[in-house]
Amino acid sequence: MAFIECDRLTHVYLKNTPMETVALRDVTLAIDEGEFVAIIGPTGSGKSTLVQHFNALLRPTSGSVRVAGQDLGDPKADLKRTRQQVGLLFQYPEHQLFEESVFEDVAFGPRNMGLNTDEVKTRVQEALTAVGLDPAAFGPRSPFALSGGEMRRVAAAGVLAMSPKVLVLDEPAAGLDPRGKVEILGRFRSLHAQRGITVVLITHDMDEAAALAQRVIVLDEGRVVMDGPARTVFTRADDLARLGLTVPTVTNVVRRLRGHGLRIRDDVLNADEARSAIREALGWN
């Protein structure tokens, strides 16, 4: 059984008012443990609305969501457990920091879970280490005195400290400089690879999606319009273009080369693959 299952999930904002908007329509999908899934789609396609159903921050207008076998629509459902299992990192999460020290801020989640002081301490140290911040050096500092990239990583640690099985990331690299971007995305990649954490990544950056995710779900106007391996989805450049989406830069390069009559594979996702594909196509080995 999949870890997260949405069945005909529909969400309507401000129902029965003049401002009623349908954000999700009949979304059916399943996410297994250990996957790395990217959710892409134009702004307003329902990406953020969808993931807020994964930890019951939003309730379906109709349809159902099950997490770890638990139906979140059940009045007796243990939502506290769900919010611990599915960690959600919002856009610009550094704007939600509030404590006087990095340690206290990261400890907020574990404390809400009712863990004792020792457990909280262990969790905070593990989480800070996982995002590449030395607990001894950063723990006592004020989160507001850190650089943008560091604040972002503290916020991520705040979610990781709940030991979630699934990490949902809403544009985790948005607004960071190139170094900060590489740093934080690298952390999430190794959390997935080494600890087997399931990652759901919302992104506008196709290069990022292609570099990280094995599976890509495409949303448009609240519907799932594509769902498959990254390699397959990103070869459908024309369909994506119709939705106002692009393909990864290197995928675009090989596609254009094929248009020029070069015989080259079209399913490349990163610079390394593009490099060897071009070499091969030019007979340069």
Partner 1 sequence: MPPLIETRNLRHVYNAGTTSAVVAVDGISLTINQGEFVAIVGGNGSGKSTLAKHFNALLLPTGGEVYVDGRDTRTRASVWDIRQRVGMVFQNPDNQLVATVVEEDVAFGPENLGVPPAEIAARVEEALRTVNMLEYRRHAPHLLSGGQKQRVAIAGILAMRPQCLVLDEATTMLDPQGQREVIETIRRLNASGVTVIHITHAMDEAALAHRVIALQDGRIGLDGSPADVFARAEDLERMGLALPLIPALARRLREDGIPLPPGILSVDQLVDAVSALRPGQTARTNPNGVH
Partner 2 sequence: MELTRYVTIGQYIPRDSPVHRLDPRTKIAAVTLLMVAIFVVRDFLGYALLGAFLLGVIALSHIPIGYVLRGLRPILFLLLLTVILNMFFSGVQGGTEVFRIWRLVATREGIIRAVFIGLRLVGLVVVTSLLTFTTSPVELTDGIERILRPFRRIGVPAHELAMMMTIALRFIPTLLEETEKIMKAQMARGAEFDRGGVLRRARALVPVLVPLFVSAFRRADELALAMEARCYRGGDQRTRMKELRFSPRDAVALAIAVAVSVVFAVPYGLWQRLLP
Show the site string, 21-50: x = touches partner 1 by CB under 8 A, - = not.
Answer: ---------------------xx-------
Q: Applying CB under 8 A, which of residues 46, 60, 63, 87 lies at the interface with partner 2?
A: 87
Between the CA atoms of 155, 160, 165 and 170, what dihedral angle is there, to the nearest 10 degrees? Answer: 10
* Run of H or E residues at 77: none
Query: Does 252 contact partner 1 by CB under 8 A?
Result: yes
Query: Does 225 contact partner 1 by CB under 8 A?
Result: no
- Which letter does DSSP use for residue 94 in this model? G
Q: Positive or negative, the Cα torsion across 111, 117, 119, 125?
A: positive
Q: Applying CB under 8 A, which of residues 128, 133, 159, 269 lies at the interface with partner 2?
A: 159
d(CA 214, CA 232): 10
Orientation of helix 148-160 relative to helix 178-195, angle to 10°: 20
CB of 218 to partner 1, least distance (A): 14
The option from partner 2, partner 1, none interacting with 42 (CB < 5 to 8 A, set by class) reads partner 1
CB of 149 to partner 1, least distance (A): 7
Q: Positive or negative, the Cα torsion across 227, 229, 230, 231?
A: negative
Query: Does 177 contact partner 1 by CB under 8 A?
Result: yes
Q: Which range, of 80-88, 189-197, 212-220, 245-253, touches partner 2 by CB under 8 A? A: 80-88
**For residue 149, which of 210, 234, 220, 92 has the smallest C-alpha distance?**
92
Query: Does 249 contact partner 2 by CB under 8 A?
Result: no
Query: Does 162 contact partner 2 by CB under 8 A?
Result: yes
Orientation of helix 117-130 relative to helix 102-112, angle to 10°: 120
**For residue 211, which of 239, 178, 248 has the smallest C-alpha distance?**
248
CB of 181 to partner 1, least distance (A): 9
Q: 203 by DSSP, 3-state: which? A: coil
Q: Applying CB under 8 A, which of residues 90, 103, 138, 188 lies at the interface with partner 2?
A: 90
* Run of H or E residues at 234: none
Question: Half-sphere exposure (CA, 13 Å, Cβ side) for 199?
Answer: 29
Interface with partner 1 (CB under 8 A): 42-43, 147-149, 174-175, 177-180, 182, 204-205, 207, 244, 246, 249-250, 252-253, 256-257, 260-262, 271, 274-275, 278-279, 281-285
Interface with partner 2 (CB under 8 A): 13-14, 17, 19, 52, 55, 57, 80, 83-84, 87-88, 90, 93, 95-98, 108-109, 112-113, 144, 158-159, 162
